[in-house]
Amino acid sequence: MTYVVGYSPHKDDTCALELACELARSEADAVHALTVVPQGWEATTASQHDKDFVHWARTEGEASAAEAFAALERHPDVAGSASWVTARSVPAALVDQARKLEASILVVGSGLHGPVGRVTVTSKTDRLLHSSEIPVAIAPREYRPSRESRITRVTLAFRDDDATWRLLDRVADICRRTNARIRLVTVTIKHRAMLQAGVSGAEDLVFEELSRAARAGQREAVDHLVENGFAGSELETVVAKGRSWADALDGVHWTSGDLLVVGSSSTHPLATVFLGSSAAKIVRAAVVPVIVVP
């Protein structure tokens, strides 16, 4: 299995490559950096300017692949390779190549317009999330783990529904392979009460019940994991509470070696990644690498 990295030249941020190497190191897998350059026209024009363009694209692709390969060589413990392709659409090419290479995860970086250290979903990544059949990992901007860094803890955004329960087993598999700990985080939001309704503490009631259900769901998940051979002491649970998603997630503690896994929409009928509203909010607030699983 391979990690395919979408590598773009001139971006001056190798966060995606760094994340891929960290993941590969944890699972002893290979990393393949892929650059997508624009495709020329199929018909030639009289002036042959299009050939100049194709030539330029090829030069760009080769330079970029070389650059990516050089970056990968800084990680001697990871089997790295790099290549380039031409295509009209970057996300489509990534999905296509990932299928050909039988990749297990597609790794991309964050946009340059977002803050450093945060995950920002670019328009290309957004398109990728809509069409990828395999998990997509997104590195925070300028993500720089240390050379030997491995994934030590996988945090699953856990919501007690069928979709996240299916995800739980997949995460358990990954953690078993990589020897990482599992942490379950459930976000609970306290809505604003309508004070003019004449019911005191109306949202306290609902919030209390929501938190109770969240804790019960997590307990059930922990029992399930323990049954499947995990030591109870290696499992962490957190109920993140707040008035907004950002507020709730601010209270969750993160360290290096952390990885956040979120499921895509639980309602979408297609088995493709399609970010649900909750998942999108979690991803936007993330300060560690995120894997979005379809």
Partner 1 sequence: MASLTGSQPSLGEQLRRRKPIVFQHHHHTGEELARELSTFELMMFGVGATIGTGIFFVLGEAVPKAGPAVLVSFLIAGIAAGLSALCYAELASAIPVSGSTYSYAYHAMGELVAVVIAGCVLLEYGVATGAVAVGWSGYFNELLSELFGWQLPEALSVSPIPGTDGEPTGGLINLPAVVLVLLCMLLLIRGASESAKVNAIMVVIKLVVLTIFAVLGFSAFNADHFSNFFGEGFTGVSAAAGTIFFSFIGLDAVATAGEEVKNPQKAVPRAIIGALTIVSGMYLAVAAAGLAAKPVSFFEDSDNAEAGLALILKDITGNEIWSTILAAGAVISIFSVTLVTLYGQTRILFAIGRDGMIPRKFLEVNPKTMTPVFNTVVVSIVVALIGGFVPSDYLWDTVSIGTLMAFSVVAIGIMILRRTHPDLERPFKIPGYPVTPILTVAVCLYIMWGLAAITWIIFLSWIALVLLVYFLYGRHHATLNTYRDPEEIAEPRGRRGDVEEDVDL
Cα separation, 83 vs 193, in Å, equals: 55
Site membership for partner 1, residue 214 (CB under 8 A) = yes
For residue 192 the two structure tokens come to: 């604003």
Q: Are 214 and 242 within 8 A, CB to CB?
A: no
Name the minimum Å distance from CB 127 to partner 1: 25
Cα separation, 112 vs 104, in Å, equals: 26
Q: What is the dihedral of CA 90, 93, 95, 97, to 10 degrees?
A: -140
Query: Segment contacting partner 1 (CB under 8 A): 1-9, 50-58, 219-227, 232-240?
Result: 232-240
Cα separation, 93 vs 74, in Å, equals: 26
Interface with partner 1: number of residues (CB under 8 A): 45
Exactly one of 150, 241, 268, 284 binds partner 1 (CB under 8 A); which one? Answer: 241
Amino acid in position 13: D
Site membership for partner 1, residue 278 (CB under 8 A) = yes
**Of residues 181 and 190, the one with the C-beta less far from partner 1:** 190
Exactly one of 121, 167, 225, 248 binds partner 1 (CB under 8 A); which one? Answer: 248
Cα separation, 294 vs 99, in Å, equals: 15
**Of residues 23 and 252, the one with the C-beta less far from partner 1:** 252
For the four alpha carbons of 174, 177, 183 and 184, in that order, the dihedral sign comes to: positive
Site membership for partner 1, residue 239 (CB under 8 A) = yes
Site membership for partner 1, residue 216 (CB under 8 A) = no
Query: Segment contacting partner 1 (CB under 8 A): 18-26, 60-68, 113-121, 244-252?
Result: 244-252
Site membership for partner 1, residue 161 (CB under 8 A) = yes
Name the minimum Å distance from CB 247 to partner 1: 8
Applying the rule CB under 8 A, the residues between 39 and 68 that interact with partner 1 are none
Which residues, at least 6 apart from 194, have a Cβ–Cβ distance to it below 8 Å?
Answer: 202
Q: What is the dihedral of CA 273, 279, 284, 285, to 10 degrees?
A: -140
Residue 58 burial (10 A CB sphere; 0-12, 13-18, 19+): middle
Q: Kind and range of the H or E element at 215?
A: helix 202-227
**Of residues 32 and 159, the one with the C-beta less far from partner 1:** 159
x/- mask, partner 1, residues 172-211, rule CB under 8 A, reads --------------x-xxxxxxxxxxxxxxxxxxxxxxxx
Applying the rule CB under 8 A, the residues between 258 and 277 that interact with partner 1 are 266, 276
Query: Segment contacting partner 1 (CB under 8 A): 37-45, 48-56, 88-96, 237-245?
Result: 237-245
Contact residues: partner 1, CB under 8 A: 159-161, 186, 188-211, 213-214, 217, 237-243, 247-248, 251-252, 266, 276, 278
